[in-house]
Amino acid sequence: MTARSNPGRNLVTAAVLAGALCPLPALAQDAVQISPSRRGNCENPLWSRDGKGLAWERVFYEERRIELNVVRDVSVTPVKEERIKPILESRDEAAATLEAFQAGAKKKVAPGEVCREFAWGPKDSPNTFTYSCNVETSSYQLFMTEGEQLTRGNGAAGQPNMTIEGWGLVYVSSNQEREGLFVIHDLIDEIRPVRLLPPGTRVDRMPVWAPNGKKIAFVGHDKDSADIYVIENVRNSEESMVRLTKWASEESNPSWSPDGTKLAFFSDHDGPKKKKKSKKRGTAGQSLYVVDLAKGGEPFLVARDVVPSEQHGPAWTPDSQWLIYAKDHQKGSVIDPIRAARAEPNAKEVMLKTGTVSNKDPQVAARDGRWWMAFSALGKYKGKERTWRKVYVMPIEKLLNTKDKPEEE
């Protein structure tokens, strides 16, 4: 089986507000809606490696259903939104080849199906991807771009992450006989899952490749805490594993800087800035930390009271200098604004004026010499339509000229 791109099927074409990536003014401050307006909450946006494609989840809470939506090129208007659907195999064809079930055993996506945890492919094949979906049972399995089923078994497989270069894949398996982190070193020539670490009492989650494709960061859960670990060499994983945090707290969502020298993550180690009980927001207790792997030393605090992303780690700018995040904060009608801070201890925060409310899940990509941020928000600051979450985009390279002085809200 090969991982191949597909120009799309089941396309849903919809016009959005004028101004997808190309038409946006250079110094625009207000964000532009990119997800077509329809039912469902759009969350967890993720840019493709080349900054052209954008994926997100469309969540239907009452139906307990999640769709995966992909736009192959956000600069093309009207925006073409594709709903990703796996090719489901019947139980007696679990070992069928791609050609066999393409010819026969296709089934429609059943009500209540959940497809999520999207991961884009490498730079040289930017339209490829993998994702997790529950199929005929409650068990989640991994699928590839054209709907090919990648994993099988009684347990679940999820949280996939692919290398920037080449065809490496790391994922989490909960199969009792195959529980833990697994790597497929080459999705093209040999799909052979390899266990990264021997079974133990720790539960490992949220793996993410370093930019060089040789290291993997992950979260290890034990009975007392959840800590950040790094495997320095995936070909010698057990001997090269390093524990970066040893706190009695919960760490999550590690994220490599683009140059591979730093690692950012969320944690409740430092607690909220305001300890006293209050009716005001800002007491979630989640903070943003960075550890400089090149210089060594302990992780340092960058910002308190942040809104951690459910699936993705803190967003880095392409120059590895800035972190972008949602602030757990409310002042008047400004709710959960997007902030930026340099990857330095106790950095000053810069507010990005998006013109939106209840923001979360920011992600950043470079394209055509510019930096673009995608994020989820409930609606416009002055807008009336706040029924469903939407995905917005805006340029943020103006950060290059800032003097680290936070703007007034």
Residue extents of the structural domains in the chain? 11-401
Confidence (pTM)? 0.84
The position carrying tokens 């089934």 is: 107
Report the CATH architecture of 11-401: 6 Propeller (2.120)
pLDDT at 155: 80
CA distance 401 to 407: 13
Q: Is 259 exposed, middle or buried (0-12, 13-18, 19+ CB in 10 A)?
A: middle
pLDDT at 277: 43
Residues in contact with 292: Cβ distance below 8 Å, sequence separation at least 6, in sequence order: 261, 262, 300
pLDDT at 90: 47
* Phi/psi at 89 (5° precision): -95, 145
pLDDT at 299: 96
* Residue-level pLDDT, tens digit, the chain, 409 residues: 333 333 232 222 222 332 334 333 333 467 999 999 999 999 999 999 999 999 999 999 988 899 999 999 999 888 899 999 887 654 444 333 333 333 333 444 444 789 999 999 999 999 999 999 986 656 899 999 988 899 987 788 999 999 999 999 999 998 766 679 999 999 988 888 999 998 887 899 999 999 999 999 999 998 888 999 999 999 999 999 999 999 989 999 999 999 999 999 999 987 655 444 434 443 458 999 999 999 988 999 999 999 999 999 999 999 999 999 999 988 877 899 999 999 999 899 998 989 999 999 999 999 998 999 999 999 998 877 889 999 999 999 876 565 544 444 4
Instruction: Write down the H helix ranges in 192-253.
Output: 237-240
pLDDT at 101: 30
pLDDT at 22: 39
